[in-house]
Amino acid sequence: MTHRLPLLATTALLLTAAAPDPVPPPAPLRLVETISPQGLQEVSPGAIVSTAVINKPDSVILAGDIVLDYKGEQRTFARGSVIQAGGPTGVAGVPDAIFCEAVHEASIGKVLTGQLAFGVVGALRPTHLNTRYCLFDADKDSKFDHAFLVGAKGEGRAPFAIPPVEYGTIEGRRLADDSVARLRYVGPAGTPDMIAFDLEAFAIGKLRDVPHARTFISVTKLPAYAIIGVAVVTVLTYDPKTRVATIRMDHDLAPGQIVLPELARAY
């Protein structure tokens, strides 16, 4: 047993060093300019019940310099720098509205350090090879006051305060002329007492994959409603013979957001 402990400890370090670098989630696209029927809708399977235009993510322009040096990762964001919105991180204490630099890829020296010596040196390093800083405005006063380092390990992932720096918002333009999100009534799906709605995205010339695209609503007791993104759909009546439903859009798809992972590099 005394001979196994050092081996187990070394193995744990190697596994830590070999863990893949975190992949930043794509920034959410903005849904604007709802183009949807108003009032009650009688819909058959395949009917589109709400449509919204897809815009690029927002960006910000800095009104002052930001200098960061955390866990050995040094960066300077000069006044006038434009930083794009980031995607959800799952980091505790971080709001949805964040703005992130592009991924800062490791230098050749840093890569070699992480890969040599059986990975032990890399395991002890406080960050993964590739990192990026993200900024956010905790009190929503148009000043960045916190940052966090994507790619830091352990407790180093927590956000930290920075000297406040003002910024201005640049609203994203339309992704492409044909880019729209659509909410489509599917009809019966799953079990006999369920109907479904699909969230679709047609962007840059083709249909795109939408995570968790299908939403089910039980028609056992009506009216019933579902929240799909920011959209709220209420089903008032449903005829299982004709599969026709009477619905009401209590809130449309826009203003809202949608994440399209396969287009992350296109915008």
* pLDDT tens per residue across all 267 residues of the chain: 444 545 444 444 444 444 555 555 677 888 987 877 878 999 999 999 999 999 988 899 999 999 999 888 889 999 999 998 887 777 777 887 899 988 766 544 454 455 444 454 455 565 667 788 999 999 999 999 999 988 887 777 889 999 999 999 998 888 888 899 999 999 999 898 999 999 999 988 889 999 899 999 999 999 999 999 889 999 999 999 999 999 999 999 998 888 888 776 555
What's the confidence (pLDDT) of residue 22?
Answer: 53
Burial of 267 (C-beta count, 10 Å sphere; 0-12/13-18/19+): buried
Confidence (pLDDT) at 119: 52
**Pair 201, 208: CB distance under 8 Å:** yes
DSSP state of 25: P
C-beta neighbour count of 35 within 10 angstroms = 14
Q: Cα(159)–Cα(91) distance, rounded to whole angstroms?
A: 8
| Euclidean distance between CA atoms 165 and 3, whole angstroms | 54
pLDDT recorded at residue 256: 87
- Would you say the pTM of this structure is higher than 0.95? no
According to the model, what pLDDT value does residue 14 have?
44
Q: Sketch the domain layout of the chain as residue ranges.
A: 29-56+174-263, 58-170
The pLDDT of residue 65 is 97
Q: At CA 18, angle to CA 13 and CA 20, rounded to 5?
A: 135
Q: Using CA atoms, how far apart are residues 60 and 46, in angstroms rounded to an integer?
A: 39
β-strands 231-239, 224-228 pairing: antiparallel
